[in-house]
Chain A
Amino acid sequence: EDQVTQSPEALRLQEGESSSLNCSYTVSGLRGLFWYRQDPGKGPEFLFTLYSAGEEKEKERLKATLTKKESFLHITAPKPEDSATYLCAAVVYGNNRLAFGKGNQVVVIP
């Protein structure tokens, strides 16, 4: 069964304190690895798609990387507005369903 596991579940950071979120996946035939950001009461907001090991993508203070077994979301010098739940999801060959991890809840303290 396809499985996506995120760690840590929750993270409190001081403003400016860089950190990384982990997403490990056990799937048969990864087609794409997705990162979303979700604020309370809202739908997930798309951040990145990674398709092959070694790929990296950046957006402002966020950088996503992918290996054959896991993905990392690096948050550099976070600000309070980066507080959110970050969701990782995998899509496998043959279908279009997103298999989500439980999320990393990040709180950035001013």
Chain B
Amino acid sequence: KAGVTQTPRYLIKTRGQQVTLSCSPISGHRSVSWYQQTPGQGLQFLFEYFSETQRNKGNFPGRFSGRQFSNSRSEMNVSTLELGDSALYLCASSLGEAPGETQYFGPGTRLLVL
């Protein structure tokens, strides 16, 4: 079974630009969660999507948004990029049927904001 895939793997943007990251979950998984990983803050939860609806949201500004499509693929968007948005963005998928299910992570998208 193919794992979670994320594209692109690397991105370089400048301040003020916007960026869209994509995540394809494991086949059959309906929940996709997004996390931001930085050296200082570690892994922090951004949001979770299930059946095309945002089910949970972390404590990030509104510049961070996401969506999920009918095939469970998900995208996240960051608008008006700031230097502090440089991070590894990880998505994780799970069946989504109950809290506490195992979440499987993709390889991440490394975003550098200059």
Contact = CB atoms under 8 A, between A and B. Distances in A.
A45 B31 CA distance: 18
A54 interface: no
A100 interface: yes
A74 interface: no
Interface in B65-114: 90, 92, 94, 96, 99-108, 110
B19 to A, nearest CB: 19
Interface residues of A, number: 27
A91 B56 contact: no
22 contacts: A31-B99, A31-B100, A32-B100, A36-B105, A43-B105, A43-B107, A46-B103, A51-B100, A92-B99, A96-B48, A96-B56, A96-B99, A96-B100, A96-B103, A97-B33, A97-B48, A98-B33, A98-B45, A98-B92, A98-B103, A99-B45, A100-B43
